[in-house]
Each structure stands twice: as structure tokens, then as C-alpha cells.
Chain A
């Protein structure tokens, strides 16, 4: 029996588009050893997902086409396998977990039915036996009360639980290979840690081989045995985890390792991949000490000028009404929160999904009306302002949302999108002037001004977030709320956007509230930190002391969830 359960040899995948052939995967070779975990790392568009879909023969044809190479599964070439043969392999021998647990479960069937379906299909079990087995599986993936939850519908479960259900479905037939395509990217860091632990346990228990795909090197350090790094359809580096992490050869790997904010460092700016290499993959020499330059902590005096103060803000949503329409039960999304944001500084707001941080952010801008409390901006209480007064305030206060795909109108050129706030607030003398300003803004955010005539779908996630930033800056605001603004981005892009936001803060003296679930990012970015749990601020202090001396258990839990996989700090090692 061969050591390798899957051997990929010189695999090429092309996509035929209107603009010509795109070579998504350009002849890559790697093996997945039996019973081991291989991490496949790369940024969006590097071809890593296409590679995994090809292994299942799930790449739609047309436009996709496997133009060369072999995928040997237990010695059998899957590229030549018929659809009928593949159907027996999929879900049975090789199964897959997808990124988005919200959409990869069918909303109209109970989770039990969905797990049972795979079992009935591949293992010839009766419905009752399959449900029995489904309960067992749910128990294994750590769903509490599995015999009740088996009858739940996907919408009744949290994101983490849904991903657990997906895992239960994937391991139902005890597959030989499990392909996990960014299974934790859409989840909070705390949930991510639980899912990673679960996957590692199951892998050991069943002796499965796992292909773990991610954009975040730090995530796989804990669970992978081998790492394959992809860039633009090619493998740039592969090797054992300790080799790749300790002695990275390719500049891209070095960049990926360096760009993730870590808890124990305090750099002024994050290193990015472009500090290590050019876009076409040529190594450039870099100045380690410049990349490691420490951030000068900006002390915050007690009498520092306060730009925004919120006092006892509450936002309660009605949950249940009785027959007469009287509310009987409330969700206390934000429950009595008070804090101050100082001019020119950044307040980090950190907590898990559902802790109320996003609701709080939107309440501050009065996109949601607060139930009670005061929001005092520059001495004026926003609560109770009429629409006209509020419109004036919107010029000063801006927000950048999480999802750069959803926050731009798909039918508006980005030029119009950036000029729109200027029209609303009468900024700029005429159209030419506004166009000029929009061009300046987009250049400031790192995109050429020729792009103004394009539509949002022509840009990548990171570029769109730059556009959203340019748009927020169009009204010349002094205060910006960044609501999970980098959470949807690849680690390498995240570093660029964080650096851009810091540069802009320096240039325009902006004040930020930075909302995130990732403590490492917030700690790098913010001066002060507020930790939120169940609608309340549980701990608040400057960023460094929260990290060094967390007081609350909840904060400690958040801290321990950050992937600490990187064995040694690359740059520090090189410096020594």
C-alpha cells in the first residue's frame, strides 16, 4: 500500500472566459500522505480552492477544464474517472467541508435529515438507523443534546454549530480524505479554535488524511504536518511545517508569516508581502529593523480631549409580544455601556459574534435608535437630534462595514459612489472639482484614478475595502467606525488595509472605533481596548495592559484563542 493516499501530479486547470483562457492552476504536484494533514496556503485567487474542487471533480465544465496532469487516489486516476465512479467516491471516500456554514446547509431540512441522507446514500442504512447514527455523529462533533438537536433546522443553530454539523456530515461515512476549504474563515477566533481542535481530534480518531485550505498560515501551524504554499496558480514552497515556518525559502512565504499581527509584537506598521517581493514573485531585499520598528505607544492622559462619550447606552430588541402587543421579552443587545473615545486615538471594541459590538457601533451613528442613554459627540447629544441636524453630523462621523462586497452599490461606478457623499453635503464647487477630489482620494487609498469609471465587481475584496475607505473620507470626517472592516479579507490584504488606516489616521488626525473579534488585530491597531460580552463592556484599559494583564476570564479566553502557531518569529530570528 502506498504511503500517499492522494498524489497530485503536474495538475493543470484552465478556465475559458470571454477574455481568454485563465490558467488557474499551472502544473502543480504534491502528495497527501495517509493519516496526515496537509495545509494548502495562499491568498484569494491563488488557485487553492480550484485545486481542492478538482480533486473532487467539482469544477464546473465549462468554463473549467482539467488540461493536464493526474490526481491519483489510491493509485486510481480521478481525472479519468467517470461521473458515476466519482459519485461513489464523493462524500464516501473523499468528503469536503466548505467555508460558509450559513449557506452550505439546506435551510428546509433538519440537520438530522441532512446527515442521514449521506448515510442512506452510501451505506445502505434505513432511515431510522441513519438518524441513530446522525445523533451519534452530532455527539462526536460536540453538539450538546444531540438527540434533540437532530431535529433542529440550520437557522436554529449558531455559525460554529453549523460548521460542526457540516463536519459531522463530512465524517459520516468515515472518509479516507477530508478536504476542508477555509472551514474557519467565516468564524470568530474563539470558535475557530474549537473547530480546529475538533478537526485535530477527529483526524486522530479516524486516521483520516486532511487537506486543509486557508489563507492564514498561523491557523494551520497547529494542526498540519506539511505545508504547501501557492501563489498565482503555482506552488512556491512545500515542506514540513517546521521547515516552512522556521526556514521559509520563498519571499512570499516570508511575507505571509510576517504580516499577521501577533500578540507579543508591537510594530509601528505591519510588514506586508510587498515588503518581501514584487508582484511577479521576485525577491526584494528588505530592512529587517525597519519592518520591526516598534510602535511608540501614545500615552493617554486622563484629561485628553474627548471626542465622543457614550453614557449608559442601551439597545433592546423586542423578542416576544403578548396578545395585546405588549413586549414580554427583550434581547439586550447593548446593555448599559459607557465609554469615552479620545480625539485622534483609536478605541478597539472586541468580542465574539452576538456580543453587541456591531449593534453598539450602529447605535452610535444612530443607524439604529438607542433604547436609552446619551451619545455625546463633541459636546452635543446625538440622541434626539432631528433629521437635518443628524445629516450635518453624518459629515463628521463615518462607518466602514465588514463586507466590501455588500457595501458598494453594484450598479454605481466607484467614481459616482465616491462623489455621492460630496453631492449630499455640498462639498466641491462643481462636478469637475468633485471628480478631481474623488481621484485624489482613490489615489490616497492606493488605487489609480483611472479606476473611477469601473464598477465594484471588477475589484478584489481588498481593493473594494480601499474604495469604501475613500468613500468614507469623501465627506472629510473626523471620526470613523471600522466595523470588522478587515475580517473578511485575507491576512496579507488585511495587513495592507490596517497600514492604510493607520497612515490616514496620522495624516488627517482621525479618531477611530475599531470593532473586531480578533484580539491580535485590535491590539495592534488600537490605543485603548474595550472587551464586550453579552451587551456589556467587561474590561477596558489601554491595549498593552489588556494583553499583559487581562483581568477578566472572558478576556483571557479571547487571548488564548489567537492562533499562536508560528514557532519562532521569523524577523526576530533573522535579526539574531
Chain B
């Protein structure tokens, strides 16, 4: 229970941080925001890596699938966001 309260505290505080930052992002960048948040939500990769590396074969299979999916998110998300953001230029 103690652990849950700790985790839950982090969860609630992080939501507030998220609200504070994201309300300041201008509408022009809303699409890169979505693809960029896709990329960081690929953080599930961290959990997937540990599951894949364990001894149980079935968790290895499940872990492997999630490593593939999360890696698509991470690599695809960051790259496509970078590609989009590079196109936003100032008036010359």
C-alpha cells in the first residue's frame, strides 16, 4: 500500500506538470506534440526489455512483441517529429 501511495503521488504530480506545460504549446505545434508524445510514451520499452530478457519463455515472447511495438513508437515518433519540426521556419 505504501508503494502504491508513492506511485500515485508521482502520477498526480506528473499530470499537473503535464497540464502546465502542454497548455502553453501553441496550436501550430499540436501535430508534432502528438507524434512527440507518441515517441515518449514508447517508454514502455523499458518494461518490455526486462520482460524479454527473463528466463520464462512465454514472457520472452510477450516481451519481444512489446519491444518491437515500443521501438516503432520510439524511433518512428522521434524521427517523424524531427522531420516535421525541421520544416517550421521563420519568415526570412
- Asked if A and B are interacting partners, one says no
**B-binding residues in A (CB < 8 A):** none
